[in-house]
Chains A and B, each alone.
Chain A
């Protein structure tokens, strides 16, 4: 099983600032099959990034993903008020599909 670790656990930032979220895997993720999701309170997660760096339909370009192998990053270049939320990474390179524990981005 691939274990995903996300850091930091919480990121306290102000609107307009840059957010950098990390996701590290316990072993290489095949084909960079790594996705990022955003979850707001009381809502289901929604897809942001797939294939480590491809934005899902309708996702603004302030969201970007990078990385390969075992180290991946989600960057939000300028935080908008609606971006303060929980972010999860997930690998789909092998079964069982696993999620990271999440990073909460909250308002400083």
Chain B
């Protein structure tokens, strides 16, 4: 059964770049059936979609974050990466990697990683 695992630094300094990796196991990201997304959740708050990628290169970003976000895929490592630059305290959150069902359009998130807490602090 496919699993998603987020990894990366748990602490990032203000103004620096947050970099996270989602490693997909027991399945390939090179499939037309899925898209791969990132969602975040500040402590005690709701969910915010960050962006989504298809291995073919199609990407969708939340306009509220688009100027600071890059999502990319490394098919040789079966990984999806998130970079968020110029971070500040409001970027402190649990960051989730999730799989979208869908072939021509990203649909619902049907599989989630456990999430990783990233704190922005000096």
A33 to B105, CA, bound (A): 11
Q: How large is the interface on A (under 10, 10 to 19, 20 to 34, 35 or more residues)?
A: 20 to 34
Q: Given A97-B49, A99-B46, A101-B46, verify A92-B113 contact (CB < 8 Å).
A: no
What is the CB-to-nearest-CB distance from A38 to chain B, in angstroms, rounded to a whole number?
11
A44 touches B96 (CB 8 A): yes
A47 adjacent to B110 (CB under 8 Å): yes
Q: Using Cβ atoms and an 8 Å threshold, which residues of chain B touch A51?
A: 108
| A21: interface (CB < 8 Å) | no
Residues of B bordering A, CB below 8 Å: 37, 46-49, 52, 60, 62-64, 96, 98, 100-101, 105-110, 112-115
13 inter-chain pairs at a CB distance below 8 angstroms, sorted by A residue, are A35-B109, A44-B113, A45-B109, A46-B112, A47-B108, A50-B107, A90-B109, A92-B108, A96-B49, A96-B63, A97-B49, A99-B48, A102-B47
User: A88-B46, A96-B49 are known contacts; what are 6 more A-B pairs with Cβ within 8 Å?
Assistant: A35-B108, A44-B113, A56-B110, A90-B108, A96-B62, A97-B62
Q: How far is the CA of A99 from the CA of B96 in the complex (A)?
A: 14
Q: Which 6 A-B pairs have the closest CB atoms?
A: A35-B108, A44-B112, A99-B47, A50-B108, A97-B49, A96-B62
Chain A interface mostly helix, strand, loop or mixed? Answer: loop
Q: Which residue of A lies closest to B47 (CB)?
A: A99
A51 to B47, CA, bound (A): 19
Inter-chain contacts of B105 with A (CB < 8 A): 92
Which B residues lie within 8 Å of A88 (CB)? 46-47
* Chain A residue contacts of B114, Cβ below 8 A: 43-44
Encoded as 1 (CB less than 8 Å from any B CB) or 0, chain A from 13 to 57 comes to: 000000000000000000001010100000111110011000010
A33 pairs with B107, CB closer than 8 A: yes
Chain B residues within 8 Å of A99, by CB = 46-49
Residues from chain A with Cβ under 8 Å of B110 in the complex: 47, 50, 56
Complex Cα gap A35–B115 (Å): 20
Q: In the complex, what residues of B have CB within 8 A of residue A100's CB?
A: 46
Residues of chain A within 8 A of B37, CB atoms compared: 97
